[in-house]
Structure 1
Amino acid sequence: MKISKQSHELRKQLRKKRRNISRFQQKQTEQIIWSKLIHSSKFIHSHKIGIYLDAFGEVQTNKIIEYCFSHHKQVYLPMICNMNNKLVWVKITQHQYRSKRFSYHRLGMLEPMASRGFNVNHLDLLIMPLLACDTSGTRMGMGGGFYDRTLATALTKPFRLGLAHDFQLLHENLIRNKWDQALDALLIPHHFYIFKRQMSQ
């Protein structure tokens, strides 16, 4: 059975379930995913890493970000470009991160202060949030299409890795529209999935 990515009810259910995860479960999930990620070859060999700041119940990223700083990896955070509704990537320092020098976007998430942003293909590894993903790598985002638009012209680089809670992996196939950008891999607490992404999509 295929699930429509446009299912408002499915999105609503997933958002609610993600928001209701307990603080203890969030910390436990963060620890497990951090441990798996830092030992993966893709992460080890990546220097420029794009990552998100969790805001809506996503897998928390603080441990990953701090680990990147302590191991001399460059950290880039997404910022929405209002001209085209695509994401650009702003390099931040550990001081900026720890002092929380961010601004609130109208959609509710934190962004780096206005600064020079790089194109997504500047990154080696892109760590992405999601609402759901199926076993072929089709990603369901929050519905704004920011990542899809951003990745549409970056087909080979960076490596696209989604982070998710176990319940966000769907065993029914999501419908993949021609503009949907699939993942290269998905990391959940109990498994690390590697997909064979079709570059034409």
Structure 2
Amino acid sequence: MTSRRRIRQSIRQLRNTLSPTEQSQAADALVLQCATNPIIQKANTIAVYLSSDGEVDTDPLIQWLWQQGKQVSLPVIHPFAKGHLLFLEYTKTTPLIHNKYQILEPKLDKTKIVPTSELDLILTPLVAFDHTGNRLGMGGGYYDRTLSRWHTDQQGPMPIGLSHSCQQVPLLPIESWDVPLPQIITPKKTWFW
């Protein structure tokens, strides 16, 4: 088993051991961290994701973003471009379906697509991160492909990772396609690089 696979497995197990109370407290603390983040405060159109598999719960954050008048978008697996994401506007009435990974996403509606160029921020899921901003995802490469322009020439929406504090590891083994993040927000701290 590769070390990346081992890290994914151990961190996913670790975050899934958090109790419902710990998850709820982490979600509320994450909102407080985001509320004081000047980049999030200035952004108008923000992509976020619906949590699964023990990820820090983004529902309270989405509620807060709506209260602030932000336009929220969610990722959808692209139906034609394998390994790519689309972003669709997300409101309280958006119909949701399970994708092939059993993750909730908006039902595809081409009238609700938000081009990546119109996003200010992409709040990004991750499995693990290290002290230099390297991010380890689930292994599908969806976000690395989406963020590749940001990585090469700082074009497109800025990515900010969201994570439980327990998902930090000393050092991640990285690959050439991995996109490091300029910020990662945990319930306890915001990391900047």
With structure 2 as the length reference, what TM-score do the two structures score? 0.90
The aligned residue for residue 139 of structure 2 is: 143
Partner Cα separation in structure 2 for residue 7 and residue 138 of structure 1: 12
1:113 aligns with 2:107: yes
Preserved contact between residue 130 and residue 140 of structure 1 (Cα < 8 Å): yes
* 3-state SS, counterpart of residue 44 of structure 1: helix
Cα offsets for 1:120-169 (capped at 9, x unmatched) = 33211111111100111110001111101111134423121111111111
Preserved contact between residue 120 and residue 151 of structure 1 (Cα < 8 Å): no
Preserved contact between residue 76 and residue 88 of structure 2 (Cα < 8 Å): yes
Q: 1:26 to 1:141 in 2, by over 3 A?
A: same
Q: 1:114 to 1:193 in 2, by over 3 A?
A: same
Partner Cα separation in structure 2 for residue 41 and residue 5 of structure 1: 38
Once the 2 structures are TM-superposed, how far is the Cα of residue 73 of structure 1 from its aligned partner? 0.6
* 3-state SS, counterpart of residue 176 of structure 1: coil
Preserved contact between residue 5 and residue 140 of structure 1 (Cα < 8 Å): no
Partner Cα separation in structure 2 for residue 39 and residue 5 of structure 1: 38
Gaps of 5+ in 2: none
Partner Cα separation in structure 1 for residue 26 and residue 3 of structure 2: 28
Partner Cα separation in structure 1 for residue 161 and residue 33 of structure 2: 13
* 3-state SS, counterpart of residue 108 of structure 2: coil
1:41 aligns with 2:38: yes
The aligned residue for residue 15 of structure 1 is: 12
Preserved contact between residue 130 and residue 163 of structure 1 (Cα < 8 Å): yes
Preserved contact between residue 79 and residue 112 of structure 1 (Cα < 8 Å): yes
Higher share in helix = 2
1:68 aligns with 2:65: yes
Stretches of 4+ aligned residues off by more than 3 angstroms:
none
The aligned residue for residue 90 of structure 2 is: 92
The aligned residue for residue 134 of structure 1 is: 130
Partner Cα separation in structure 2 for residue 81 and residue 5 of structure 1: 28
* 3-state SS, counterpart of residue 93 of structure 2: helix
Amino acid across the alignment from 1:166: S
Amino acid across the alignment from 1:26: Q
Gaps of 5+ in 1: 196-201
Cα offsets for 1:90-116 (capped at 9, x unmatched) = 0122332xxxx2011111100101122
Higher share in strand = 1
Q: 1:5 to 1:65 in 2, by over 3 A?
A: farther
Q: Percent identity?
A: 29
Amino acid across the alignment from 2:186: I
Partner Cα separation in structure 2 for residue 55 and residue 183 of structure 1: 21
* 3-state SS, counterpart of residue 191 of structure 2: strand
1:102 aligns with 2:96: yes
* 3-state SS, counterpart of residue 149 of structure 2: coil
With structure 1 as the length reference, what TM-score do the two structures score? 0.87
